[in-house]
Amino acid sequence: MGSVMSLGCSKRKATNQDVDSESRKRRKICSTNDAENCRFIQDESSWKHPWSLCVNATDVSNMLNSFTLSRDFNGLVGMRAHMNMMEHLLRLDLDEVRMIGIWGPPGIGKTTIARFLFNQVSDRFQLSAIMVNIKGCYPRPCFDEYSAQLQLQNQMLSQMINHKGIMISHLGVAQERLRDKKVFLVLDEVDQLGQLDALAKETRWFGPGSRIIITTEDLGVLKAHGINHVYKVGYPSNDEAFQIFCMNAFGQKQPHEGFWKLAREVTYLAGELPLGLKVLGSALRGMSKPEWERTLPRLKTSLDGKIGSIIQFSYDALCEEDKYLFLYIACLFNGESTTKVKELLGKFLDVKQGLHLLAQKSLISFYGEIIRMHTLLEQFGRETSRKQFVHHGFTKRQLLVGARGICEVLSDDTIDSRRFIGIHLELSNTEEEFNISEKVLERVHDFHFVRIDASFQPERLQPENDLIYHSPKIRSLNWYGYECICLPSTFNPEFLVELDMSCSKLRKLWEGTKELRNLKWMDLSYSEDLKELPNLSTATNLEELKLRNCSPLLKNSPVSKY
């Protein structure tokens, strides 16, 4: 049936990428008023053991390191100046606990600075972690703030000790466990005070010499938290902007022979934002001089120095298949593993080649196995998908994303029978009433990918939404906070590759035996009412079964028989 079965803790060492991949999922942790349901899976003594291993090993490393930052900047334009400023704010020679903000607009390079700094100094601390895309893991508005904060803190502690099986019972655990540890912590993309309250509420939570780095677009969040050490990331100088563009267009800090004037002109059109310079440079990379000259007039009419027009230019230059892949990632698969995306989309696209090309164009990046797309690029992709439906009518691979747009489409009884291949709905992002027209769903039944997050307000999805499962060829079903006790009898999992029903109210998945030959990943974690598993004898390709915090199941139905 496969080699991985997770019951709350894993023997495999967790990586930064594991935590990033899980962050989107685990932000849907079930709300509970019973403190006993959220606890350490291991007892107190066994939980301490990984800390001692981690601390002792790092102490030896610390004694071998000086407090001078490395000067190897690997061709990163402007990084020397950024590190000089951060070194002044860090003051690694002091034993005080210090929180430092990195503040600036989206696309300016805050995350790049924080990651470079983390790679430079984290091994000098007893414990370290970098928490990415925190705002994406903490909905706005947040209807169950305590559960969201508890899960954020759980992720942070799990990552610090490279142990994924931790479950914490209250928000005081971080202070209890970290107050005597020298910690280096990066909190990336913070946009609400509640996130800082969960992860670094006070300096006394951490041991002497600890440093907490917070990247944000909102200076007000830093001020409200009492953070006075703030680095404002400024726009690059004209020369630096030119070098950033050239690094991505030519692979070096100056243009190839004969391209100097063209490169200067395009840099001016691109504006100052590093992300825009990087994306546009990557779009032009490899073109001949005549191709640059033919492209320049279009750039002059379409670029206005704003990031949207730059992304549009790069997107328009993609072939149709790569455009689809870009939209799939923006709408459905940002933060997923390359292995999973290849498996899910390989039926429709040449995913391996497409991912390689999108990375070359700086439209995605990889953190180990995990695909990451910048927030601005993701927003562009989702808006592009919405415009395709509104303005261009039928497309053969239509994606529905965003609560407001989905509400409009699926509540309209007059909607024509277009082919919708994917839907991504997050109810935490809207307070609007959500109802699906049964007449619409009778005509819209080609979903291959369904992603629904109702974990913070599951009651807002009515039972008739089960009609979604009439889709006969569904390949990926992710429904967090599913309220029913069983999937409908009409649900057909024959083509299902991934099933994730985390934080559900399920007691069992379905009645009887169903064909599961394509199923590879199943996650039922935090489904605390789950009493039995289905017959998995037909799941001959199952690679991973996650059953974290499914106590009734483990008591009533020994997993070993599966």
Residue holding tokens 């007059």? 414
Of how many residues is the chain composed? 562
- Pick the range with the lowest mean pLDDT from 191-195, 343-347, 386-390, 497-501: 386-390
pLDDT greater than 60 at residue 278: yes
- Per-residue confidence band for 153, with pLDDT thresholds at 50, 70 and 90: confident
The residue type at 550: C
When pLDDT is cut at 50, 70 and 90, the band that residue 187 belongs to is very high
Is residue 148 pLDDT above 70, yes or no? yes
**pLDDT > 50? residue 31:** no
For the cut 80, the answer to whether the pLDDT of residue 41 exceeds it is no
Residue 143: predicted pLDDT: 60
pLDDT of residue 4: 42
What mean pLDDT do residues 237-260 have? 95
User: Is a pLDDT exceeding 70 seen at residue 468?
Assistant: no
- As given in the structure block, the two tokens for residue 411 are 């509540």
| Window from 164-178, 215-229, 457-471, 521-535 with minimum mean pLDDT | 457-471
- Higher pLDDT among residues 248 and 389, named by residue: 248
Residue range 185-205: average pLDDT?
Answer: 93
**What pLDDT was estimated at residue 44?**
33
How does residue 73 score in pLDDT terms, banded at 50, 70 and 90?
low
Give pLDDT tens digits for 115-139.
999 999 999 999 999 998 787 777 6
Give me the pLDDT at residue 286, please.
94
Highest mean pLDDT: which range of 161-170, 207-216, 553-562: 207-216
Query: In angstroms, how far is the first alpha carbon of the chain from the final one?
Result: 8
Q: With bands split at pLDDT 50, 70 and 90, how would you rate the model's confidence at 403?
A: confident
Residue 375 CB: number of other CB atoms within 10 A? Answer: 17
pLDDT tens-digit profile of 531-551? 889 889 999 999 999 988 887
Strand partners, 98: 211
> Would you state the pLDDT for residue 556?
59
Question: Of 246-260, 293-307, 465-479, 514-528, where does mean pLDDT reach its minimum?
Answer: 465-479
- In this predicted structure, what is the pLDDT of residue 109? 92
Q: For residue 125, how many C-alpha atoms fall within 13 Å in the half-sphere facing its CB?
A: 30
| Residue 79, pLDDT above cutoff 70 | yes
Q: What is the mean pLDDT of the chain?
A: 79
Is the model's pTM score more than 0.85? no
Check residue 54 and give its pLDDT. Answer: 40
pLDDT digits over 424-435, tens only? 887 765 555 666
Domain boundaries, the chain: 31-232, 251-314, 320-372, 377-561
How far does Cα 54 stand from its chain's mean position?
A: 26
Q: Specify the pLDDT at position 141.
A: 62
Whole-number Å distance between alpha carbons of 344 and 325: 12
User: Of the given ranges (279-288, 405-414, 442-451, 494-503), which has the lowest mean pLDDT?
Assistant: 405-414
Q: What percent of the chain has pLDDT over 70?
A: 73
Region of poorest pLDDT, from 66-75, 119-128, 227-236, 521-530? 66-75
In this predicted structure, what is the pLDDT of residue 88? 94
Over residues 281-308, the pLDDT tens digits come to: 999 999 999 999 999 998 888 877 788 8
What confidence score (pLDDT) does residue 206 get? 95
pLDDT of the residue at 300: 86
394 pLDDT higher than 50: no
pLDDT band at 513 (very low <50, low <70, confident <90, very high): confident
pLDDT at 247: 95
pLDDT value of residue 322: 95
The percentage of the chain sitting over the pLDDT mark of 90, rounded to a whole number, equals 44
Q: Residue 253 has what DSSP assignment?
A: S
Q: Where are the alpha helices (DSSP H) in 36-192?
A: 44-63, 79-90, 110-121, 145-160, 173-178
Of 468 and 544, the one with more pLDDT: 544
- Residue of higher predicted confidence among 59 and 299: 299
Predicted confidence band of residue 423 (pLDDT cuts 50, 70, 90): confident
CB within 8 A of 60, min separation 6: which ones?
none
* 61-75, 457-471, 474-488: least confidently modelled range: 61-75
Check whether 99 has a pLDDT greater than 70.
yes
Q: What is the CATH number of domain 31-232?
A: 3.40.50
pLDDT at 130: 92
CB within 8 A of 439, min separation 6: which ones?
413
Q: Is the link from the previous residue into 141 a cis peptide, with omega within 30 of 0?
A: yes
Label residue 233 by pLDDT band (50, 70, 90).
very high
Which residue would you say has higher pLDDT here, 36 or 388?
Answer: 388
Q: Which residues are registered as beta bridge partners of 499?
A: 477, 522
Least confident of 177-191, 288-302, 411-425: 411-425
Residue 456 confidence class, pLDDT cut points 50, 70, 90: low
- Would you list the DSSP string of 277-326? HHHHHHHHTT--HHHHHHHHHHHHHH--SSHHHHHHHHHHTS-HHHHHHH
